[in-house]
Structure formats: C-alpha cells, structure tokens
Amino acid sequence: MTTTPLRMPATDARRTRSRGAERPSPVATAILLLGALYCLLPVLWVVTASTKNGAELFSTFTFSPSTHLWDNFIALTQYRNGLFWRWMLNTAIYAGVGALVSTFVSSLSGYVLAKFQFPGKGVVFTVLLMGVLVPGVILAIPQYFLLAQIGLTNTYWAVLLPQLISPYGIYLARIYAAAAVPTDVVEAGRTEGAGEFRIFLRLALPMMAPGLVTIFLFQFVAIWNNFMLPYIMLGDDHLFPITVGLSGLLNQGATVPALYTLVITGALLSIIPLIILFLVLQRFWKVDLAAGAVKA
Amino acid sequence: MTSPAVATSPRIAPSSASRRRATRVQRVAIPYTMLAPAIVLFVLFMAAPILYTVVLSFQTVRVSGLGLGAADKKLIFAGLDNYISALSDPQFVASVVRVLAYGAILIPVMLGLALVFALLLDSRRSRATKFSRVAIFLPYAVPAVISSLLWGFLYLPGISPVVYILNALHISAPNILEPNLVIFAIANIALWGGVGFNMIVIYTALRAIPSDIYEAARIDGATESQIAWRIKVPIILPSLIMTGLFSIIATLQVFSEPTTLRPLTNSLSTSWTPLMKVYRDAFIRNDIYSAAATSVVIALGTFALSFVFLRIVQRRAFGQEDS
C-alpha cells in the first residue's frame, strides 16, 4: 500500500535527474579543452616556428608566424642533396614493411595458438608472452653484437629484422582469433579439404582484419618510435630513420645554430604523414589492455 | 571454400572424426610449422640476445703483459664481479634513484589525468568530446625523439612562452633545463606523449560497461560524479592496473627523451638514466661486460615488476576460447 504512492515521486525524481545529467557542464568541458590545448600547443608551435628564419626563432614571440616556411623547406630539401627525404623514405620502409611483416607473423601465430590444440602450446605461449616484458631497448645492445658477428650491422636488415617479432602483437592476435574466428568455420574448411595454411589465409585472416589493423598500427608506432635500435645499429647516415637523423642534426645544431630551423622544419614535415595516418585510422584505436580485447 | 553459414551444419561430426584419424605427427607438425616464423624470430632476436647478455655479464677481459697485442687480452670467467661493480657503482645507483623519482612524478600525474579525461569523455555532461579525444590522443602519433625536440626548443629561455609571459610581467623565470628541474622537463615530455594513450585505454574500458548499470544508480538518485567514482572506477580498475604496470616498464627504460635533450642543456649526464649508462659503457667505454651485467640487473628489476602483470593478464584474458 505504501509502495504505490511512493513510486510516483521516485519516477519524477529520476526524470528530472536524468534531464539534469544531460545538462552540459562547463567545468567538465573546460577541463577537456585545457587538456586538448596542452596537447596541441607543441604542434601549433612547430607549425609557426617552421615559418621563421634563424634570427626570428629566438627573437619574435613564440607563436607569432613569419614568412620563411618555403625558404626553410627548400633549405631542408637541399641539405646534403636531400638527405632529409632519404630519412623519410627509410622511416617508411622500416615502419611500413616492418609492421606489415610483423602483423602477418603475429596473426599466423595468434591464430594457431587460439585454434589448435597441440602439446607444448602452453609453454610456447608463455615463453612468447614473456617477451612482452623484455624491454626491447635492453635487447638492442646484444642484438648489435650478434648482428655484428654476421656483418649485418649498418644495413637495413639490422633495423628491420629484430622488430619483426612482436610478442604483444601475437598476444593481441591470439585474443582476436579466439573471438573473431568461429571454430566451426575452421572445421568446415577442413571438411572441404583445404590445407591449414589456406584456411588461415582465406578464412581466418579476413575475419581477423579489423584487429590486424590495430596490431599493424601498434607495431608501426613501436618501430617509428624505437630510437635506440637504429641509433645503435646504424653508422651510415643514409640509412637513418627520421628520428635518428633529426636527433643527429640537433646535436650538430649545438655548434651550428643555423641547423635549428632545419631541425624544426624537419620535425614538422615528419609528423604530418603520421598525424594524417593517425586521424584516418582513428577508429581502430580501441584498446582494452586489461581484458586484452581489441574491440573494433 | 565454404561460407560461414554452412559451417554450423552437423557436418562437423565427420570432420572432427577425420581429424582424430590424422596422425599424431601431423597434429604436432602442422601447428609448429605455422608457428615456425615466430619461433625462429623469437629465438634469433630475443632468446639469443638475452642468453648472450647473460654470458657476457659473467665474463671479463684480463689484460696481461703490456696489454698491447691481442694475445695479451684474455677472456676469463668473472663470476659475479661485474654484478658487484654494477650494483656498487654510485652512478648506476644515482641513475636508478633518478628514474624512480621520475616515475614517481610522472606515473601518478599521467594516470590521474588520463583517468579524469576518460571519465569526462564518458560523462554525458561534457561537450566537445570528439575534438578533445582526438587532440589529447594525437601526441601518441609523435615519436619520443620528435616530441623531445619540440619541447626541448619550447624550454629554451629564448623561445619558451612561459618565460616570455613572466618576463613581460617582470618576474624572473626559472630555467626548467637547470639540473634540479630537468627531471620535470623530461617528465612533461613523457606526460605529453603518454596521457592520451592511457586515456584511450581507460576510455575503451569505460565504453564496455553496460549503461543499464548507470540507469539503476540514477534511479537511486546517484549524481554523475558518484556514478563515476563509485561504479565506473571500480569496474575499470584492472585497466588502471595494467596501464600502471606498462607505465612502470616504460619508465625504467627511459632513454630517447634525455638523449635527445642533451644537446640543449648541460644538465644531463651520459649516465642520467640506467639505459643511458648501459649505452655509454657498451659503446663509448667499450666495456660490454659490465654493460651486460647492468642490462641484466635492469631486466630483472623489470621482470620483478612485470611478474604481477602476467598473473593478472593470464587469469583475465583467455576465458573466451575453447581449451
């Protein structure tokens, strides 16, 4: 008897509250916009700074633009016969080819670990997963000495090969294969008499595709970001990726300040393709580390 | 090839029977053949370097005679000598303390901000969420070297907008690149690069919570902030733990940021972080044996922290597949 009259105000209260909850909160929005401003500020700076010449860099206000963008661009392009563009190309090769091959290896391994039962599976997975925990940078030095013994240091291979194995990629691929590839489909493929590798290529791989984009992006960013490995492996600056190249240029800038404008213009040009790639593929960045799930 | 629709038919029975007939050899050979690329790469580029580092860490070169010819240098077993000298090296101890302080500054701020941003993105009362999400995540696309470079210039007194504003107000501005403050300068670079990624991880976890849970709370009269702290945060706690552990692992490896900043300041020594010291010992001092011992110490320290990670991950992640 008491419940009936009490229900009405409760429903009313909910209605007003839920309306209240949807009322915009200026504080919440302001905090988010401040965060966005903090994250965009250095990008905004590099855009304006690359329009300044060497003198203006230190004399005019930080964010006031100038008119020398084209001059800086030409100077950078002409620097040692286009070395900068060579670095860009190298980066594309290291990160692009490396991430592509790595994603394929990861997806194949993840698929096998998710869909096959075989002796030693637990051990193989645990050992591979332990690789997630081994800091890549700690491996770089022994990798250098091992590759030096077969004469592969200071080549493209020295930077490409060690980054083809991605324990984290295998881990993600296993989760993705388990969730996205129904065992029935694999069984049906076998019934039709298809080979296991063919089943993987034709049936499993397309089903895993959205997750594979995420794995690709992860590895791409990881290789692009990896500074220590190429820094150690490469001596010839024609093989440098952009990160090592610009870092070296900054180092020389300590004695030749004219190089600073080149470094800044180079930094701007190098992040443009990444930011574009990033915005285009934004929806694939949905990562739940705890559940290990990639939700695409 | 068959369509997925056919797959659900009862034809599975004969196929699993035929699979049972497959020879034992095949059942082992096929998965291992398919795993071969990963296993070979793992052995060559992870297992072998680790093993090699461990072997090196127990060796040293004894120089006899004048030490001029190759014959005078002999590789000998060093026992724990390299480890003892690594652990008792004041520069190494200082670099570890520095990195721990760096982590203590960076990780709470980064994860705290990431959590606040993620909760605000998930809140129904926030506006401009799509723009903010993309903007805050954007620095993740910028490699650490480039972000160090951008911030490095922004720290220079001649460029820094903060110094410019303070000078305009006739306040003397501190130089953030001086020895006592440079740790904050580097933490800020890592914060800038990392807060968005962690925010996305937490936000993804928040989006996975079914919204009827909130409806129930709202009927009971809970406010948005009560829902956030009492319901959302406890549910996404595992994500927070994971981001925390990944951040700890990354912190111990900090190398790119201080190495890139070095040309712009005198405040950073060549052994500012443990990995910088390893690099210097191996390539500048050519003492790969002590560098190897130091690497092993860093790796073991990382492992000790990561062990917790494995326990959490393996328990949570693989409930969904057939075993």
Establish if B138 belongs to a structural domain: yes
d(Cα B223, Cα A111) in Å, to the nearest integer? 45
Q: Are residues B104 and B182 in the same domain?
A: yes
Is residue A7 predicted with pLDDT exceeding 70? no
The total of structural domains in chain A comes to 2
Domain shared by B219 and B304, yes or no: yes
Search chain B and give the residue with CA nearest A44: B150
pLDDT-based confidence at B302, cuts 50/70/90? confident
CB contact under 8 A, A33 and B128: yes
> How buried is residue B156: exposed, middle or buried, by Cβ count under 10 Å (0-12/13-18/19+)?
middle
The DSSP letter of residue B128 is S
Cα B255 to Cα A194, A218, A266, B278, B280: the distances in Å are 49, 20, 21, 10, 12
- Average pLDDT, integer, range A91-115: 95
pLDDT at A211 over 50: yes
Residue A162 in any domain: the answer is yes
CA separation for the pair B191, A68 (Å, rounded): 31
CB B267 within 8 A of CB A110: no
pLDDT in tens, B136-154: 999 988 999 999 999 999 9
At A193 the pLDDT is 87
10 Å CB burial of residue B169 (0-12, 13-18, 19+) is: exposed
Q: Is the pLDDT of residue A18 over 80?
A: no
H-run or E-run covering B59: strand B59-63
Strand partners, B62: B74
A239 or B17: which leads in pLDDT? A239
Residue A9 confidence class, pLDDT cut points 50, 70, 90: very low
Question: What is the phi-psi region of residue B79: left when phi exceeds 0, alpha when psi lies from -120 to 50, beta otherwise?
Answer: left
Name the residue with higher pLDDT: A132 or B39: B39
**Which chain A positions have a beta carbon within 8 Å of B321's beta carbon?**
114, 178-179
- The alpha-carbon gap from A213 to the nearest alpha carbon of chain B, in Å, equals 15
A180 and A216, same domain (yes or no): yes
| Mean pLDDT of all residues in A95-124 | 94
Determine which of A19, A38, A57, A138 to mutate to test the interface with B (most B C-beta atoms within 10 Å). Answer: A138
Q: Is the dihedral of CA B278, B281, B286, B289 positive or negative?
A: negative
Long-range interactions of A6-15: CB distance < 8 A, separation 24+: A10/B219, A13/B221, A14/B218, A14/B219
Give the least confident one: A139-148, A241-250, B169-178, B241-250: B241-250
What is the reported pLDDT for A194? 86
Identify which of A148-162, A175-189, B166-180, B293-307 has the greatest average pLDDT.
A148-162
pLDDT above 50 (res A294): no
AA letter at B227: I
DSSP string over B189-208: HHHHHHHHHHHHHHHHHHHT
Q: Which of B210, B228, B220 is nearest to A18 (CA)?
A: B220
State how far residue B301 is from chain A, nearest Cα, in angstroms: 11
Q: Could B31 and A116 be called an inter-chain contact, meaning their C-beta atoms sit closer than 8 Å?
A: yes
In a domain, A115, yes or no: yes
pLDDT for A160 beyond 90: yes
A133 and A60 belong to one structural domain = no
Distance in Å from the first CA to the final CA of chain B: 26
- Note whether A52 and A185 are same-domain residues: no
Per-residue pLDDT band for B292 (boundaries 50, 70, 90) equals very high
Q: Are residues B195 and B293 in the same domain?
A: yes
Residue A154 identity (one-letter amino acid): N
Number of domains within chain B? 2
Q: How confident is the model at residue B16 (pLDDT cuts 50, 70, 90)?
A: low
135-154 in A: which are within 8 Å (CB) of B? 135, 137-139, 141-143, 145-146
Residue % of chain A over a pLDDT of 70: 88
Using the predicted structure, report yes or no on whether residue B191 has a pLDDT greater than 50: yes
Chain A positions touching B14 (Cβ under 8 A) are 191
Name the more confident of B72 and A237. Answer: A237
Q: Does the distance separating the beta carbons of A263 and B192 come in below 8 Å?
A: no
First to last CA, chain A: 50
Q: B315 pLDDT band (50/70/90 cuts)?
A: low
**For A18, nearest residue in chain B (alpha carbons):** B218
Q: What is the DSSP string of A75-117?
A: HHHHTTTTHHHHHHHHHHIIIIIHHHHHHHHHHHHHHHHHH--
pLDDT band, residue B111 (cuts 50/70/90): very high
Question: Are B121 and B183 found together in one domain?
Answer: yes
Q: Which residues, numbered 99 to 128 in chain B, qualify as contacts with chain A under a Cβ-Cβ cut-off of 8 Å?
A: 113, 116-117, 120-121, 123-128
My answer on whether A37 and A87 are in the same domain is: no
Q: Are residues A145 and A60 in the same domain?
A: no
A102 with A169: CB under 8 angstroms? Answer: yes
pLDDT at A216 over 80: yes
B4: number of Cβ within 10 Å: 13
Same domain, B20 and B161: no
- Phi-psi sector, A236: left (phi>0), alpha (psi -120 to 50), beta: beta
Query: Residues B81-94: what's their mean pLDDT?
Result: 93
| Structural domain boundaries, residue A287 | 77-294
* pLDDT level of residue A223 (50, 70, 90 thresholds): very high
B223 pLDDT band, cuts 50/70/90, is confident
DSSP-H helix ranges across chain B: 4-7, 12-21, 24-42, 48-57, 81-88, 90-122, 129-137, 144-155, 161-168, 182-207, 212-219, 224-226, 233-235, 237-252, 256-261, 274-279, 288-317
B47 and B108 inside one domain: no
On whether residue B166 sits in a domain, the answer given is: yes
Confidence at B21, pLDDT banded by 50, 70, 90: low
User: Do B144 and B255 reside in the same domain of the chain?
Assistant: yes
B56 interface with A at CB cutoff 8 Å = yes
Same domain, B114 and B230: yes
Taking alpha carbons only, the member of B177, B195, B148, B200 closest to residue A39 is B195
Residues A127 and A45 in one domain: no
Residues A57 and A92 in one domain: no
Q: What is the Cα–Cα distance from B85 to B78, expressed in whole angstroms?
A: 11
The CA distance from A280 to the nearest CA of chain B, in Å, is 11
Using a CB–CB cutoff of 8 Å, tell me whether A281 touches chain B.
Answer: no
A23 contacts B125 by C-beta, under 8 angstroms: yes
Give the HSE-up count for residue A153: Cα atoms under 13 Å, Cβ half-sphere: 16
State residue A243's pLDDT score.
94
Number of Cβ atoms within 10 Å of the Cβ of B215: 12
Helices (H), chain A: 3-21, 26-49, 54-59, 69-78, 83-92, 98-115, 121-133, 136-149, 156-160, 167-180, 183-191, 196-199, 205-225, 228-233, 242-253, 259-280
Confidence of residue A163 (pLDDT cuts 50, 70, 90): very high
Residue A157 scores a pLDDT above 90: yes
Classify residue A9: in a domain, yes or no: no
Whether residue B65 lies inside any domain: the answer is: no
Which residues of chain A neighbour B120 with C-beta distances below 8 Å?
28, 31-32
pLDDT of residue B110: 97
Residues B250-269 have a mean pLDDT of 90
pLDDT of residue A288: 53
Alpha-carbon distances of B319 from A85, B10, B202, rounded to whole Å: 48, 25, 21
Cβ neighbours of A58 in B, within 8 Å: 156, 158-159
Residues B180 and B32 placed together within one structural domain of the fold = no
- CA atoms of A176 and A209, how far apart (whole Å): 9
pLDDT score at A42:
94
pLDDT in tens, B232-241: 988 888 788 7
Chain A's closest residue to B156, CA to CA, is: A58
Q: What is the pLDDT of residue B12?
A: 44
The answer to the question of residue B75 being in a domain is no
What residues of chain A lie within 8 A of the CB of B299, using their CB? 134-135, 138
Residues A61 and A85 in one domain: no
- Domain of B196, CATH number, reads 1.10.3720.10
Among candidate residues B200, B106, B111, B189, the one with its CA nearest the CA of residue B143: B189
- Whether residues A150 and A256 fall in one domain: yes
Determine, yes or no, domain membership for B68: no
A207 within domain boundaries: yes
Is residue A117 included in any domain, yes or no? yes
pLDDT score, position A59: 82
Report the residue of chain A nearest B265, measured CA to CA: A254
**Looking at residue A16, what is its pLDDT?**
43
Does any domain span residue A8? no
Q: Name residues 67-96 of chain B within 8 A of A (Cβ).
A: none
> Which CATH number is A183's domain given?
1.10.3720.10
Whether pLDDT at A158 is above 70: yes
Beta carbons of A275 and B138 less than 8 Å apart: yes
Q: Does residue B224 sit within a domain? A: yes
* Residue that is written with structure tokens 């390893």 in the block: B278
| Distance, CA of A196 to CA of A184 (rounded, Å) | 14
Q: What angle do CA A215, A218, A221 make, to 5 degrees?
A: 145
**B131 pLDDT tier (thresholds 50, 70, 90):** very high
Q: Among A142-151, B38-47, B188-197, B302-311, which stretch is predicted with the lowest mean pLDDT? A: B302-311
* Position A96 pLDDT exceeds 90: yes
| Statement to judge: residues A46 and A87 lie in one domain | no
Q: How far apart are CA A230 and CA B129, in angstroms?
A: 38
Average model confidence (pLDDT) across chain B: 84
B124 CB neighbours in chain A (<8 A) are: 21-22
Residues in chain B closer than 8 A to A167 (CB atoms): 42, 46
**What pLDDT, on a 0 to 100 scale, did the predictor assign at position B18?**
54
- Which among A112, A232, A274 has CB closest to B31? A112
CB contact under 8 A, A141 and B279: yes
Residue B173 is classified by DSSP as: P
- Pairwise CA distance, residues A124 & A113, whole Å: 9
Q: Give residue B141's domain range.
A: 81-317
Residues B224 and B126 in one domain: yes
Q: Do A113 and A249 fall into the same domain?
A: yes
In a domain, B144, yes or no: yes
A residues 250-269 near B, CB within 8 Å? 250-251, 253-254, 260, 263-264, 267
Examine the domain organization and report whether A175 and A195 are in the same domain: yes
Chain B residues whose CB is inside 8 A of the A37 CB are 135
